[in-house]
Structure 1
Amino acid sequence: MLRRYFPSEAVASMIKLPKPLRDNLHFLCVEVDSQVASLQSYFETPAAAVARRIVDRAGYAYNLKVRIHSATVQKLRSSKRQAQRDLMLRSIEFIATDLERLAEISRNCVRQLEYIEAFELLGAKRYIGMLKRVRKAIAQIEPALQADDSTLAIQMGKSLGRMASDYEKLLKRYRLALREVPAHTDDLTRALFVAYEVRQMGEALVHISESIISANLGQPVNFERFFSLRSLVSDLEADEEDLQISAIAQTRSGSSISGISAGDESENGYLAIFKDGEKRKVKEERAGVRSWHEIYPGLAPKILSYEKRGQSAALLIEHLPGHTFEQIVLNESDELVDEAFKRLAKTLKSIWKATRSQEPAQASFMQQLQKRMNEVYRIHPEFARTDSKICGLPVPSFDTLVAAVTKREKHWPAPFSVYIHGDFNVDNIIYDPMERRINFIDLHRSRYMDYVQDLSVFMVSNYRLQVLDSDTRARINDLALRLYDVARREAKKQNDELFEVRLALGLVRSFASSTRFILDKSLARRMFMRARYLLEQVLAIQPGKETKYRIPMKEIFVD
């Protein structure tokens, strides 16, 4: 039974739908079924009266949808927030939207069908079968909401596969007819639109199915994600009847992260982490984790299982105990911050030593930045200025400065490579105080590269934490200065004479590109101006004097 994957309280909450919502949803299901049935009748016997009945009832389904939306908003506004109940209400809202979409599709179809003269070209029998499946799915919506598992919801979602197959057969029929009976090109063109619209009914049913499953799981989920999750949790050594799923995060790359716990034992932590998303990115993460296991064992989590479906994929990953570095910096004692930093510094030096390659590395920070600046300007259009003058003195634009530095950067490679994290943000570093151990997560960008890239990303990810408390800000800036001191000493040992100028460029890249994630105008401006200040400093270095440059770290990391 699929029930074992769902929190029991989610099932209970589905039964307690407010009566106005329940009634309006019932009326909407009946109304939409009536309109789809009328469309089915039109395919069986085309008649103007049937078409008019569909078109004339456009307002009723819409009004029912609006009532449901209003009732959910009112309920959300008038009650204390409860994540499980709130998700259930939002799911009902989405279901109403997709039901009204089915009614809209019925109207779109009949408007095209009325103009088709050679009705025999349509292949009406196949449409009748497709619409019967739609009506069967509509009839399952209310029982699926009341059921104690998602079996009916899954059956609804599977309608799309059969409807997509029918759609392809209709396309093949119409393409052949376009060649054989060109006199009916107009009719066949309209038939193509009708076929596409009916296929969209299958998409709407999938959305409804996903809304029901999401309410059962207690978190948003799509159809592919559900099947990946169901497949992967079977690999856990735990009683599947007790497994519970809880959302943890949504990444900027589009991946979803959830924790899987064992029922009443959830306070002891997660059994595993479920991560899914675009197949390419998930495969990159899997490859990154495997590489770390080979190159530096013990740092990356274990991959318990991997599943791919279509264009998406999922990982079941070992849950690592401890806190992210972000949590430690923001919430823990000075003693724990100091302990975690010392362990991080020791771990980094060990990684650099163990993975060092004599192959020079060219990070191309300015090229990386140029690829991201359009996104920055979309969020902060005030940064997109052109070259100008003040009292006759030229003031180059940010892009002009970046272009000028790009020409010089290619002459400043790192003298060696190390294996880097690639996305060394404070929320991708975990410290376990019990084991006094550092672990890395989110490893899809790991590769051999200039170690300065990880350093700059870490420093700026600390700086951009949106906290106003002066003591916490001082702690954040102190971490950047301490890591700089550690890295500078290591660079000196390795005769890395261009360390400072490359770190300056890494900071430029991280400060400027990170503003696309910051809506706080004051913080974004401080970050952007720091990037510009460093660019101007680097451009002011006389050729041949790059090894003498020193970053004004105390001026950069201060508020």
Structure 2
Amino acid sequence: MTSLPKTIRENLHFLCAEIDGQLILLEAFFQDPTAALARRIMDRAGYAHNLKTRILDACVRQMAGAKKDNRKHLTLRSLEFVAVDLQRLSNLARQSLRHVERIDTFNTLVPERYPVIVGHVRSGVARIENAIHSSDSNLAIEIGQMQNKIEADYRKVFKVYTREMRNPKTQPSDIANSLLVASEFQRMGDSLKSISEALISSNIGQAVNFERYFSLQSLMSDLEEPNGELAIEAIAETRSGSSISAIRNTKTETVTAVFKDGEKNKVKEERQGVESWHSIYPGLAPKILSYKKRNQSAALLIEHLPGLTLEHILLNENGDLCDKALARLSKTLRDIWKQTRTKEPAELGSMQQLSERLGEVRRVHPEFQETHVRFCGEALPSLDTLVGLAAKREAQVAAPFSVYIHGDFNVDNIIFDPGENRIHFIDLHRSRYMDYVQDISVFMVSNYRLHVLDRETRSRIMDVSQTFFKSARAFARKQNDDTFEFRLALGLARSFATSTRFIFDKVHARRMWLRSRYLIEKALACPVGEEARFRLPLKEIFVD
């Protein structure tokens, strides 16, 4: 671990000693409960709080001069978490005593069980300083493993208390308060685990939890890197809760693989999506190098794909490269759609999707809760009403065929390799057979929602969306997909509205919200049975 400033090192030492002192008193209290011991514990709250505050203040001062991705910054952030959780142990000790005070018959608590639990907490605290100064992840793991011992003891006393509930001689209030005491000790185990994770995160240079660390260790052992050591660096945190990291060779400075972990079901879907693309369209998706499951989480080690995301190209590269990437993407998509086409009709269901997500949108943007909509004195239907009407129309206009789609076709999930002139897809957990309009609408709106104010770049984004649309429309006409533009209008309406939940800027979000309403109104204005004659008002939509 990075060398600690003297102020932090000394105050951390005092804080660990203070918490251990309070735990010694707590241990003694359960062995021989006296009001004097309880009072000594309750009176020591201020010192632990002051020590924690000094550590946090010192960390803030030190971080002011450290780069955010600097190892020093990570260490200081970890120490903040350690200090907060140490003081939390002090708070939990006092809270447990408040519950004890309400117990009339002290033996109901089975107090002889608690010194062992307190001993586990003390063992964890005793390892903290050594784990910090030696950057020893094994010691950090031992701190976190104390939670398992505390949890096992908690379950034993929980069984005792629940059994006593059936005893008519035992006061229900005594059992209730005993359960609360046990719960405070269970939370002490959680604090030790949090401290353990903070120390491990500092050691490896990236925020991890226990499950992620063991998955990462297991998967990295599968990599063979004779030249140089392996290091990890964060790439992204997905909205679904997964974390993505690059595994880099420290000697060659090349990315060897990509590590992705998260909930077992989501990672399993990602694995299945990648494997399905390998069988359907080889070379498009990355290879899976290794896969591990652990409890309710799972992790993948994925081949690192060369190239740049379309988002990066749009925002940072020249127009020629952008045109080249878009042309290759359009060609690749047409090829995929032709190869995977089935005769099974596909319902887009975009209005149902929108209806299900309106609650999420309005939690971020409550101003979109429309009750009475008026324009020039005329009462207009709310968006909810329009969505309901459009859902009925949409159900009558299915795509004449199905194709295999990406399922989350944002510009940051598409990689273009200029050297090989190839397109790759990533983040494939939603891939399935579906109406291809789903991917088209998501792609176009993911372009629009990029919050870029530069006029030239903004104009390029609009041009990309319009060029992409023309390519997709040409494919639809060749396939005799007559209702393509009608379905796309509703698909775009869904994507514009639901994407606002990821947009904080109120002006930008409102532009997208109004475009959604406009597209639904235009689709509903089309006479029933005339959907094939509907034309998407593209220039009115993709312009700022």
- TM-score range (shorter-chain normalised) is over 0.9
Please give the per-residue CA displacement for 1:481-521, whole angstroms capped at 9, x wherever unaligned.
11111111111111111000000011001111101111112
Alignment of 1:80-91 (within 5 A): 81=68, 83-91=70-78
Q: Return the alpha-carbon distance in structure 2 between the equivalents of residues 82 and 549 of structure 1.
A: 51
| Partner of residue 35, structure 2 | 48
The equivalent position to 2:431 in structure 1, one of 446, 451, 460, is 446
Question: Does 2:84 align with 1:128?
Answer: no
Identity, % of aligned pairs? 57
The equivalent position to 2:159 in structure 1, one of 157, 167, 172, is 172
Please tell me the residue identity of whatever aligns with 2:15: L
Conserved 8 A contact 1:284-1:444 = yes
The equivalent position to 1:66 in structure 2, one of 53, 56, 61, is 53
The equivalent position to 2:422 in structure 1, one of 418, 433, 437, is 437
Please tell me the residue identity of whatever aligns with 1:458: F
Please tell me the residue identity of whatever aligns with 1:43: F
Q: Classify the secondary structure of the residue corresponding to 1:551.
A: coil
CA apart distance, 1:357: 0.9
Conserved 8 A contact 1:234-1:240 = no
Q: Classify the secondary structure of the residue corresponding to 1:542.
A: coil
Q: Return the alpha-carbon distance in structure 2 between the equivalents of residues 320 and 386 of structure 1.
A: 48
CA apart distance, 1:146: 0.9
Q: Return the alpha-carbon distance in structure 2 between the equivalents of residues 305 and 334 of structure 1.
A: 38
Please tell me the residue identity of whatever aligns with 1:393: E
CA apart distance, 1:341: 0.9
Q: For structure 1, which runs of at least 5 residues remain unmatched after alignment?
A: 1-10
Q: Return the alpha-carbon distance in structure 1 between the equivalents of residues 197 and 305 of structure 2.
A: 30
Q: Return the alpha-carbon distance in structure 1 between the equivalents of residues 7 and 38 of structure 2.
A: 31
Q: Return the alpha-carbon distance in structure 2 between the equivalents of residues 410 and 430 of structure 1.
A: 34
Question: Does 2:522 align with 1:541?
Answer: no
| Partner of residue 504, structure 1 | 489
The equivalent position to 1:219 in structure 2, one of 171, 191, 206, is 206
Alignment of 1:465-476 (within 5 A): 465-476=450-461
| Partner of residue 143, structure 2 | 156
Q: Return the alpha-carbon distance in structure 1 between the equivalents of residues 524 and 78 of structure 2.
A: 55
Q: Return the alpha-carbon distance in structure 1 between the equivalents of residues 313 and 515 of structure 2.
A: 26
| Partner of residue 302, structure 2 | 317
| Partner of residue 459, structure 1 | 444
| Partner of residue 380, structure 1 | 365
Q: Classify the secondary structure of the residue corresponding to 1:434.
A: coil
Please give the per-residue CA displacement for 1:124-145, whole angstroms capped at 9, x wherever unaligned.
3332111111111101111000
Q: Classify the secondary structure of the residue corresponding to 2:438.
A: helix
| Partner of residue 23, structure 2 | 36
**Over the residues paired in the alignment, what is the CA RMSD in angstroms?**
1.4
| Partner of residue 360, structure 1 | 345
Conserved 8 A contact 2:11-2:54 = yes
Q: For structure 2, which runs of at least 5 residues remain unmatched after alignment?
A: none
Q: Return the alpha-carbon distance in structure 2 between the equivalents of residues 461 and 107 of structure 1.
A: 51
Q: Return the alpha-carbon distance in structure 1 between the equivalents of residues 379 and 206 of structure 2.
A: 54
Conserved 8 A contact 2:476-2:484 = yes
Please tell me the residue identity of whatever aligns with 2:457: T
CA apart distance, 1:120: 3.1
Conserved 8 A contact 2:228-2:251 = no
Alignment of 1:120-519 (within 5 A): 120-180=107-167, 182-239=169-226, 242-266=229-253, 268=254, 270-519=255-504
Please tell me the residue identity of whatever aligns with 2:371: T
Conserved 8 A contact 2:67-2:73 = no
Q: Classify the secondary structure of the residue corresponding to 1:158.
A: helix
Conserved 8 A contact 2:78-2:202 = yes
CA apart distance, 1:184: 3.4
CA apart distance, 1:297: 1.4
Please tell me the residue identity of whatever aligns with 1:356: R
Question: Does 2:107 align with 1:107?
Answer: no
Q: Classify the secondary structure of the residue corresponding to 2:401.
A: coil
Conserved 8 A contact 1:372-1:513 = yes
TM-score (norm 2): 0.97
